[in-house]
Amino acid sequence: MPKRVVIIGAVALGPKVACRLRRLDPDVEITVIDRDDLISYGGCGIPYYVGGDVNELEDLYSTASHARRDTEFFRTGKGITILTRVEAIAIDRKTKAVKVRHLQDGREELIGYDKLVIATGSTPVRPPFLGSDLPMVKIVSNLHDAEAIKNLLKQGKVGRAVIIGAGAIGIELAEAMTDLWGVETTLIEMADQVLPMALGKTMTRIVRRQLEEHGVRLLLSERVIRIGEDPDNGSLLVETYSGAFPCDLVVLSTGIRPNSALAVEAGLAVGRLGGILVDNRLRTNDPDIYTGGDCIEQRHLISGAHVIMPLGSLANRHGRIIADNIHGGSTLFTGTVGTFTMKVFDLGVCKAGLTFRQAIEAGFDPVFAVVSQPDHAHFYPSAQFIYMTLIADRRTRKILGIEAAGKNGPAVKARVDAVAVLLRHGVDVDEICSLETGYAPPFSSAMDVINNAGNVLDNILAGKNRPIGAAEFIEKFRADEIRTLDVREASTAAPFVEKYKERWLNIPLSELRERYGELATDQPYCILCDTAPRSYEAQVILDAKGITNTLNVQGGYAMILATDSTLL
């Protein structure tokens, strides 16, 4: 058992390694160093501090019993030495020592180790365009940045803000500024959708509508050219290819890169994404040096590719594994399925596995199903819709990914978590169809939304359900390329029939077997109902009558409403 363990980094991974190791061995000497003076904090809570959900900055580095996690807390309560305002500047693997610099006085010294843990995390990317380094252009990388932005908001110095990058942090900050502070917020993203690395297009359209309904101006497929500053009043002008946007504050949320410079200089192996390479015990190519969290490349268990996953949850799990293995255990980390969740105003969003695009890039032949369904029994009061996408490989029927969104965030997360735990084991469509879930009317339907997503996907793979996505349906209908067969009741369909005349045919499902002759067989129809089960039944009926030029609108009118309310 090593006598000296040195940990570089004291935010998430580092403290977890230290605390777990202390519980395993009361005698080991543990030293943690960090260049900051605020340590062991919940970085994922920063947007909620800015937005007021978390009242005090101290709450982010306090325990559930309100004890501040500072150096004294770790010294007296954990028996761990944490050196703050101390920067690691080099690792000497031959002598097994870390060269550090004390930032207050510039003094340098060597700290010897038997085992070393690199917990340096990641750094936000600052884009290279002109003006990205101006004083009122901020990056949120730590609690000091969060406090600076919140102080500007509290002082009333920000009436208009531009956030560049519509990833999770950018969206969460847009919500924080709009919801509490009433800031006129513009969110700019170079991709053609929000959350481009996290979600497929169906779910991102729901997120997009949620942002726009709450007053966030969204500019997609847009690039920033430069940021200018008015020398008289300090206001900013963000210039893009489509226009210029005046504002008081710009926040950059344009991605992260692993903090792997120390590892590179020490000769440790680094991957093509810039993350440190590790084995399944989270050891580097030096068996006495471990690492995890944001600064490593992890194996995606579905695609097999290396990925960077900057999640506090993963960092904490890595920390426990590293501590176990330093203590002499053999705990393994085999990889990740990329489980991700967030809140967007009233919406909960969650994903695990691959998106449709990522599945194609990984070499699969993906097919997907989309369903809309209440999160509990339809007859129980206050049910909320869950919108779900389930993706599988066409040849093997292996599930590749799941995405969901809905106003009942915990219910959304629970469904995705249930599938996420199965993804690493190679779950297939049939297993999702028969997945056993708990049932009670206040919590779910007798046939849960997960099961129904599996059933729809099974029907699509069998060729019985020929689908069209809600967004594609709207696009084709507006282009006058298709007609709609609405199989809802006449009273529900009447406003659409009145507006679109012969382009919107209403035949309730109960009358379709007698009235199918009213369909013009030389034109394609998209069949629509509230959530798609009746439209699928209608497609089966029409197939039996030899009318096969139909497409079933996935998720039904509920999905159309969730993504675009302008159809009526």
3-state secondary structure of 291: strand
Length of the chain: 568
Integer Cα distance of 426 and 306 in angstroms: 18
pLDDT in tens, 419-468: 999 999 999 999 999 999 999 999 999 999 999 999 999 999 999 999 99
Looking at this protein, which amino acid is placed at residue 359? A
Q: Say which residue the tokens 């006598």 belong to.
A: 3
pLDDT in tens, 154-163: 999 999 999 9
pLDDT in tens, 84-106: 999 999 999 999 999 999 999 99
Mean pLDDT of 21-37: 96
* Ranges of CATH 3.40.250.10 domains, the chain: 467-563
Q: Judge whether residue 567 has pLDDT over 80.
A: no
* Ranges of CATH 3.50.50.60 domains, the chain: 4-122+257-326, 137-254
Determine whether domain 467-563 maps to CATH 3.40.250.10. Answer: yes
Integer Cα distance of 164 and 170 in angstroms: 7
Print burial letters for 377-406: b (CB count within 10 Å at least 16), e (below 16).
beeeeebebbbbbbbbbeeebbbbbbbbbb
* Ranges of CATH 3.30.390.30 domains, the chain: 340-356+382-450
Q: Say which residue the tokens 């609108």 belong to.
A: 553
Integer Cα distance of 292 and 325 in angstroms: 13
pLDDT in tens, 47-95: 999 988 998 999 999 998 889 999 999 999 999 999 999 999 999 999 9
Q: Which helix (H) or strand (E) holds 179?
A: helix 168-179
Q: Judge whether residue 1 has pLDDT over 60.
A: no
Query: pLDDT-derived band of residue 139, with 50, 70 and 90 as boundaries?
Result: very high
DSSP 518-532: GS-TTS-EEEE-SSS
Q: Judge whether residue 323 has pLDDT over 70.
A: yes
pLDDT in tens, 173-220: 999 999 889 999 999 999 999 999 999 999 999 999 999 999 999 999
Edge-to-edge strand ranges of the sheet holding 385-393: 340-344, 347-353, 399-406, 385-393, 366-374
Query: pLDDT-derived band of residue 398, with 50, 70 and 90 as boundaries?
Result: very high
Integer Cα distance of 432 and 134 in angstroms: 51
Contact 392, 461 (CB under 8 A): yes
Tell me what pLDDT residue 523 has: 84
Q: Which CATH number fits the domain 137-254, given the four candidates 3.30.830.10, 3.30.70.120, 3.50.50.60, 3.30.1490.20?
A: 3.50.50.60
CATH architecture of 340-356+382-450: 2-Layer Sandwich (3.30)
Count the Cβ atoms, other than its own, within 10 Å of residue 105. Answer: 8
Instruction: Look over the chain and give the mean of its residue pLDDT values, rounded to a whole number.
Output: 94
**Cβ contacts of residue 237 below 8 Å, gap of 6+?**
227, 228, 229, 230, 244, 245, 246, 247
Contact 341, 316 (CB under 8 A): no
Looking at this protein, which amino acid is placed at residue 562? A
- CA–CA–CA angle 193, 198, 199 (5° rounding): 60
Tell me what pLDDT residue 520 has: 87
Integer Cα distance of 302 and 305 in angstroms: 8
Class of the CATH domain delimited by 4-122+257-326: alpha beta
Please give the structure tokens belonging to residue 249.
Answer: 């504050």
Whole-model pTM over 0.85: yes
Phi, psi of 204 (to 5 degrees): -70, -25
Integer Cα distance of 218 and 195 in angstroms: 12
Q: Say which residue the tokens 């339809």 belong to.
A: 378
CA of residue 196 relative to chain centroid, distance: 9
pLDDT cut 70: percent of the chain above it: 99
